[in-house]
Structure 1
Amino acid sequence: MAVGQEEQLVVFQLNDQQYALPINETQEIIRMAEVTRLPNTDYYIEGIINLRGNILPVISLNRRLGLPETEQSEDTRIIVVENKGNKVGMIVDSVLEVGRYTDSEVEPPNMIGDNVDFLKGVVKKGDQLWLLVNLDTVL
């Protein structure tokens, strides 16, 4: 990113915390769909969905990040991302906005904890903190 250049993020909610993904890693955002469960898969894999004729694996981002699971609601969304050529759907509690940020608003993820490798950094937006998800380690 060029210095001072603004980038866009998709900001979403998991439990009571706001997370964010760079918009260029995000393919689309869809409403919660009927998920077909698969046997013998990782604990965080919800199953698969049929997205316009394409079979797409779907993960629970809450489960993947070790967060409490929330009841699905009208606001539940699937964020479709592409990482290393693979498309994956991630279930989130809700999508809030497309936000903008600059390099100067990002802090490195030097927090103490096990899940620090799931984060690329923390965006400070006024009094809000957006945790930047690192798709390389999440998927």
Structure 2
Amino acid sequence: MSQPTEDVKQFEEEEDTQKGKYLTFSLDTEYYGIEIKHVTEIIGIQAITEVPELPDYIKGIINLRGKIIPVMDVRLRFKKSPRAYNDRTCIIVVELLEVSVGLIVDRVSEVLDIADGDITPPPELQKGGNRYIKGIGKVGNEVKLLLDCDKLLNEDEIDQITR
């Protein structure tokens, strides 16, 4: 059996250091978490160019250092009331199904370590009620709704915004 190459070892070590780490953010009084491995960067809100005929939760596109990235308002995706953007509003750039997408959130909180033992499956609600939630992380007396990044947009929606 051959020994793993240095590149493979380094990749596995990076994966291990990211395991159990979640970037937390808020919408109103609810806190959410995204696995840090999906996050590329966090930027402040900036000028968004609207694109016609996209779903209302896709606010448009931004130019991030020459790369065009669609941005999604997570409040609208979760059927919450819209809110004016302010200096706390952030865009979390994530990789969804190999496409960079900006997630507009009310505010970014912190990176937390949440052990697998502190994560429970979401409760069974009405049909489709939890499709974005992968688990519920318990942090002290608080709960963080842990998102399943790959379900924030389906393949048809990704095709629509990358055309």
Using structure 2 for the length normalisation, give the TM-score.
Answer: 0.79
Q: Which residue does 1:98 correspond to in 2?
A: 111
How do 1:59-138 and structure 2 match up within 5 A?
59-113=72-126, 114-138=128-152
Q: Which amino acid aligns with 2:40?
A: Q
Task: Flag the 1:121–1:21 CA change in 2: closer, same or farther, 3 A.
Answer: same
CA contact (8 A) 1:118 1:135 kept: yes
2-side partners of 1:111 and 1:32: how far apart? 34
Unaligned runs of 5+ in 2: 1-17, 154-163
1-side partners of 2:29 and 2:53: how far apart? 30
CA contact (8 A) 1:15 1:68 kept: no
> Is residue 53 of structure 1 aligned with residue 66 of structure 2?
yes
Moved over 3 A (4+): none
Aligned residues: 135
- Cα shift at 1:111: 4.1
Structure (1 or 2) with the larger CA radius of gyration: 2
Query: Higher RCO, 1 or 2 (CA under 8 Å, sep at least 6)?
Result: 1
> Is residue 8 of structure 1 aligned with residue 24 of structure 2?
no
Unaligned runs of 5+ in 1: none
Identity of aligned residues (%): 36
- Counting helix residues as a fraction of each chain, which structure ranks higher? 2
Q: Which amino acid aligns with 1:36?
A: T
1-side partners of 2:76 and 2:129: how far apart? 12
Q: Which residue does 1:37 correspond to in 2?
A: 50
